[in-house]
Amino acid sequence: MSETLYTLTATHGVGIVVICAYLSCLAIPIPTSLVMLAAGAFCAAGDLDFGTVLASAWIAAALGDQTGYWIGRRYGPGILDRIARNPSRTRLIERAREVVAERGGVGVFFSTWLFSPLGPWVNLAAGSAGLGWLRFSIADLAGEAIWVTFYLSMGYIFAQRLDQLAALLSQLSGFLAAGAVTLLLGWLLRYRLSRASNTP
């Protein structure tokens, strides 16, 4: 898979980065982080311009998130209910709804880079919950800037060790996401117990 992605990135350059960045924000299972790493490596080799790739990927990711947000806004909670009928996505939708309900724009911000697998579902949940567009957009743009800059920079800096870096970041991302979700669920449990104890 990684060799195919590297070949596609080498052949199509910024275009494949833009397509992958956009589609991954709509929950299409594309290993966009690998594409970003490869693009960063090609920038280091002088085959691509770092600034152009950075801006293009950032805009594409933001547009993908906006698409998800407006789909959620247009079709409301019903679209999440339909998606949640799939057992493999039930918990993801529940988490996305919790993140938006409890954290709002802060949740959107972290879902774009720290909880990136949750990001597409948070976009839908934010739209369906009626989270303000400006609040969503500011949080989203800031988060995507971190995500895009990080992966492109890592690919640029460690261009000669891309395979090892990709494997390391994949493991680290899973570890951080699992830890962050655990902390979030713990906070939500504590918050709900606190509310319950204060209820007459």
Judged against a pLDDT cut of 60, whether residue 167 lies above it is answered with no
pLDDT at 41: 87
Q: Which residue has the tokens 């000669």?
A: 160
pLDDT at 177: 45
Q: How confident is the model at residue 81 (pLDDT cuts 50, 70, 90)?
A: very high
pLDDT at 159: 77
Q: Which residues contact 36 (CB under 8 A, 6 or more apart)?
A: 17, 21, 57, 148, 151, 152, 155
pLDDT at 182: 45
What is the arithmetic mean of pLDDT over 43-72?
96
What is the arithmetic mean of pLDDT over 84-88?
90
Other beta carbons within 10 angstroms of residue 126's beta carbon come to 30
pLDDT at 163: 60
Q: Is the separation of the CB atoms in 125 and 76 below 8 Å?
A: no
Q: In this predicted model, which residue has the larger pLDDT, 76 or 178?
A: 76
Judged against a pLDDT cut of 50, whether residue 117 lies above it is answered with yes
Q: Is the separation of the CB atoms in 16 and 130 below 8 Å?
A: no
**Least reliable range by pLDDT among 88-92, 113-117, 149-153, 191-195:** 191-195
pLDDT at 176: 42
Q: Where are the domains of the chain?
A: 2-198
Question: Cα(109)–Cα(69) distance, rounded to whole angstroms?
Answer: 13
Q: In this predicted model, which residue has the larger pLDDT, 197 or 62?
A: 62
pLDDT at 123: 97
Q: In this predicted model, which residue has the larger pLDDT, 5 or 200?
A: 5
* pLDDT over 70, % of the chain: 77
What is the arithmetic mean of pLDDT over 52-79?
96
Instruction: Output the six-digit token pair for 88.
Output: 């493999």
Question: Cα(31)–Cα(24) distance, rounded to whole angstroms?
Answer: 8
- DSSP tally for the chain: helices H, then strands E: 10, 0
